Chains A and B, each alone.
Chain A
Amino acid sequence: MRYPFPVGRSDFIQGDEAIARAAILAGCRFYAGYPITPASEIFEAMALYMPLVDGVSIQMEDEIASIAAIIGASWAGAKAMTATSGPGFSLMQENLGYAVMTETPIVVVDVQRGGPSTGQPTLPAQGDIMQSIWGTHGDHMLIVLSPSTVQEAFDFTIRAFNLAEKYRTPVVLLTDAEIAHMRERVYIPKPEEIELVERKLPQNEEEAKLPFGDPHGDGVPPMPIFGKGYRTYVTGLTHDERGRPRTVEAEIHERLIKRIFRKILDHKDEIISMEEFMLDDAEVAIVTTGIVSRSAVRAVKILREKGVKAGLLKLNTIWPFDFDYIEELAERVRKIYVPEMNLGQLYHLVKEGANGKAEVELIAKIGGEVHTPMEIVERVVG
């Protein structure tokens, strides 16, 4: 297989470009999108690469159509992705719920920008944390990943496809304008260096008849893609194991929704990824995600120089959220600080996790700038 970009070596590229290349290497062969700053470069790169690898890149009439198209493509057997920013992500929410309900593997990139509404189109923010987790309606479960470097944007994109395929679920890659437009050195591996996960397909007629069952006990049903003679009916209505609409029986709805939760929560140890930095003996902890983590690393170093035993917990997965881990952390430290580029979204999750075992303080910043390390340091030393 020939690639339209160099593999097996490093390149100096933007976050958006890294996401596009990672998607191609992850096996994505269907991209549908609608232009929006700061995500457009993902689309432009996909438009350039996709035809060369016999994939599809298509500009749809809006974001609703874009996510609809990738869900359709996924049922036709393709790994599929779309990318957008806040306003477009809002438009996608109904169909994001449809992907949850129909257990369709897709990857949705949300390059956050300052909102609400059209807000600050070119400036970074972390205002969609809650939207990515709770934006669609009804009880639902999905996976949200958040990179903090261009290399992570690349790596997490591949991981997003793997998790989507493995758990038959939509995965949101939540990044921001800063990473999208920043150039950094990224190692682009050779295909043979990348571990790829492919969705489970039915092994026999029995399995194919239960497209929403649990034949393997792991909560993840094999996916009978279209055109294989299985004659699968897929609906966003509450359905039984065979996919038949059953909209008024409480038990059936509960069984379905709880399995959709279970298939992810039972594997949360594998799904949740976080990194600790100088946290072993820490008395104060900083919990961050995305771009702010980089300022926080520097802040921890400065704090240590000042004699403050600070440590950092960087969340690579935002959802599912490890509430238990945060509680343990809260038992070990005196105080937890949550610097984030919004007026308090991750903060609520951390506070719930801490469960009163430690004080939790928000270090909010909005307006389009990342916290400087000193802004974090000053708040910690008071």
Chain B
Amino acid sequence: MYLKSAYEIRDKYLRKDMLPTIFCPGCGIGSVLQFTLRAIDDLGLNQDEIVWVSGIGCSSRVPGFVNFDGLHTTHGRALAFATGIKLANPDLKIIAFMGDGDAAAIGGNHFIHAIRRNLDVTVILINNFTYGMTGGQVAPTALKGLRGTTAPYGQFENPFDIANLAVSAGANYVARWTVFNYLQGINSIKKALQKEGFTLVEFLSPCPISFGRRNRMKTAPELIRWYQKITVPLAKAKKMSEEELEGKIVIGEFADRDRPGLVREYQEYIKRAKKMMGWEQ
């Protein structure tokens, strides 16, 4: 892969008048944004045919910085809005940029139903184990014992494994990486963007400000080291016992299949309706 300079990517895809971004130093959202733009660039996708959709949260501010059509909606609802955009104009390709709280807490219902329908969308999910924008409350992805302002003594609930949830709900493509898995990350986004139906690339992403500070990892490098410690590649995980995997997060590619997407299913449905009513042969 020929790597364009970050400047080239920035100049081509970001809205200059919106810079600088709102992201804190050491935040991983910018890296994931860069991966996504590089994937779009590498694939040579038409900028005018992509719509970015998001909910509310730090991660959801991304569509404001990129020079594409974008819909920054309400907390958790991005995929419901996306359903309308995609079905009303199937020519548009949709990228949903979401936070873990956004996707799995308030938006959990929309998330599983968008996957069940196999809505044609690529979800780029920033999992920072916390609610960044509102200042570090626990997210449903937070591992047991992690601290947040609303669980000052350490999370006592079980976390969601978003990628696994997406696999079982029926997503066509699911991968999870940390923001330091640069090439795997970009390749996964490229794969996701080329597929029909629901595709998800989840990134474990450092939030030193709202999350790290409260969990004795004030800087991005400290978070990197922690991610290295808690993540296990899929191939290795397969050989590990349940006890060994306790408190670990598996990374890799979890699903890659080609079930028909919602748009195609609906187009077939229209044909069936017309046939059943005797409007068409």
A residues lining the B interface (CB < 8 Å): 2, 4, 29-30, 32, 51-52, 54, 56, 58, 60-62, 64-66, 68-78, 80, 94-95, 98, 226-237, 244-245
Nearest B residue to A79 via CB reads B88
Counting chain A CB atoms within 10 Å of each CB, the highest count among B18, B64, B277 belongs to B64
- Asked whether any CB of chain A lies closer than 8 Å to the CB of B17, the reply is yes
**Contacting pair B69 A69 (CB below 8 A):** no
- Asked whether any CB of chain A lies closer than 8 Å to the CB of B270, the reply is yes
Contact A72/B64 with A227-B51, A227-B89, A235-B72 known, Cβ cut-off 8 Å: no
Across-interface contacts of A4 in B (CB, < 8 A): 277
- Asked whether any CB of chain A lies closer than 8 Å to the CB of B27, the reply is no
Contact A227/B110 with A51-B269, A98-B73, A236-B73 known, Cβ cut-off 8 Å: no
Nearest A residue to B92 via CB reads A227
Contact A234/B70 with A51-B274, A68-B80 known, Cβ cut-off 8 Å: yes
Across-interface contacts of B83 in A (CB, < 8 A): 32, 58, 60, 65, 68-69, 72
Across-interface contacts of B169 in A (CB, < 8 A): none
**Contacting pair A75 B67 (CB below 8 A):** no
Closest chain B CB from A205 CB (angstroms): 13
Secondary structure class of chain B's binding surface, majority of residues: helix
Compute how far the CA of A226 lies from the CA of B94 in the bound complex, rounded to whole angstroms. 11
**Contacting pair B84 A231 (CB below 8 A):** no
**Contacting pair A231 B69 (CB below 8 A):** yes
**Contacting pair B69 A72 (CB below 8 A):** no
**Contacting pair A244 B88 (CB below 8 A):** no
B residues lining the A interface (CB < 8 Å): 15, 17-18, 47-49, 51, 53, 63-64, 67-74, 77, 80-89, 91-92, 109-110, 113, 266, 269-270, 272-274, 277, 279
Contact of A231 among B68, B74, B277 (CB under 8 A): B68
**Contacting pair A245 B84 (CB below 8 A):** no
Counting chain A CB atoms within 10 Å of each CB, the highest count among B85, B88, B277 belongs to B88
Contact A68/B49 with A226-B89, A227-B69, A231-B67 known, Cβ cut-off 8 Å: no
Nearest A residue to B78 via CB reads A68
Compute how far the CA of A180 lies from the CA of B77 in the bound complex, rounded to whole angstroms. 30
Q: Count CB-based A-B contacts (< 8 Å).
A: 141
**Contacting pair A68 B48 (CB below 8 A):** no
Counting chain B CB atoms within 10 Å of each CB, the highest count among A30, A66, A73, A232 belongs to A73
Nearest B residue to A234 via CB reads B71
Contact of A60 among B64, B68, B71, B80 (CB under 8 A): B80
**Contacting pair A69 B68 (CB below 8 A):** no
**Contacting pair A73 B84 (CB below 8 A):** yes
**Contacting pair B18 A244 (CB below 8 A):** yes
**Contacting pair B88 A78 (CB below 8 A):** yes
Compute how far the CA of A128 lies from the CA of B110 in the bound complex, rounded to whole angstroms. 27
Compute how far the CA of A73 lies from the CA of B71 in the bound complex, rounded to whole angstroms. 11
**Contacting pair B80 A65 (CB below 8 A):** yes
**Contacting pair A65 B77 (CB below 8 A):** yes
Contact of A228 among B48, B73, B272 (CB under 8 A): B48
Question: Could you name 25 residue pairs across A and B whose Cβ atoms are closer than 8 Å?
Answer: A58-B83, A61-B80, A61-B110, A62-B109, A66-B80, A68-B74, A69-B84, A71-B73, A74-B84, A76-B88, A77-B89, A80-B88, A98-B73, A226-B51, A226-B69, A230-B69, A231-B67, A232-B69, A233-B15, A233-B72, A234-B72, A236-B72, A236-B73, A236-B74, A245-B64
Compute how far the CA of A70 lies from the CA of B88 in the bound complex, rounded to whole angstroms. 9
Compute how far the CA of A60 lies from the CA of B117 in the bound complex, rounded to whole angstroms. 10
Contact of A68 among B64, B81, B266 (CB under 8 A): B81
**Contacting pair A72 B17 (CB below 8 A):** no
Across-interface contacts of A54 in B (CB, < 8 A): 270
Compute how far the CA of A214 lies from the CA of B109 in the bound complex, rounded to whole angstroms. 38
Compute how far the CA of A95 lies from the CA of B269 in the bound complex, rounded to whole angstroms. 29
Counting chain A CB atoms within 10 Å of each CB, the highest count among B69, B70, B110 belongs to B69
Compute how far the CA of A236 lies from the CA of B73 in the bound complex, rounded to whole angstroms. 6
Across-interface contacts of A80 in B (CB, < 8 A): 84, 88
Across-interface contacts of A245 in B (CB, < 8 A): 64, 72
**Contacting pair B84 A2 (CB below 8 A):** no
**Contacting pair A237 B72 (CB below 8 A):** yes
Across-interface contacts of B92 in A (CB, < 8 A): 76, 226-227
Across-interface contacts of B72 in A (CB, < 8 A): 233-237, 245
Which 7 residue pairs spanning A and B have beta carbons closest together? A72-B84, A68-B80, A69-B84, A51-B273, A73-B84, A65-B80, A73-B88
Compute how far the CA of A233 lies from the CA of B15 in the bound complex, rounded to whole angstroms. 11
Across-interface contacts of A244 in B (CB, < 8 A): 17-18, 64
Across-interface contacts of B81 in A (CB, < 8 A): 68-69, 71-72
Nearest A residue to B46 via CB reads A229
Compute how far the CA of A226 lies from the CA of B86 in the bound complex, rounded to whole angstroms. 11
**Contacting pair B74 A95 (CB below 8 A):** yes
Compute how far the CA of A64 lies from the CA of B64 in the bound complex, rounded to whole angstroms. 23
Compute how far the CA of A174 lies from the CA of B148 in the bound complex, rounded to whole angstroms. 44
Closest chain B CB from A54 CB (angstroms): 6
Closest chain B CB from A332 CB (angstroms): 46
Contact of B85 among A29, A60, A75, A230 (CB under 8 A): A75
Across-interface contacts of B18 in A (CB, < 8 A): 244
Closest chain A CB from B97 CB (angstroms): 13
Closest chain A CB from B107 CB (angstroms): 10
Contact of B48 among A62, A74, A227 (CB under 8 A): A227
Compute how far the CA of A98 lies from the CA of B53 in the bound complex, rounded to whole angstroms. 14
Taking A68-B84, A74-B84, A234-B72 as known contacts, 11 extra A-B pairs with beta carbons closer than 8 A to each other, sorted by chain A number, are A30-B84, A56-B88, A56-B266, A69-B83, A72-B84, A72-B88, A76-B92, A95-B74, A226-B92, A233-B69, A236-B72
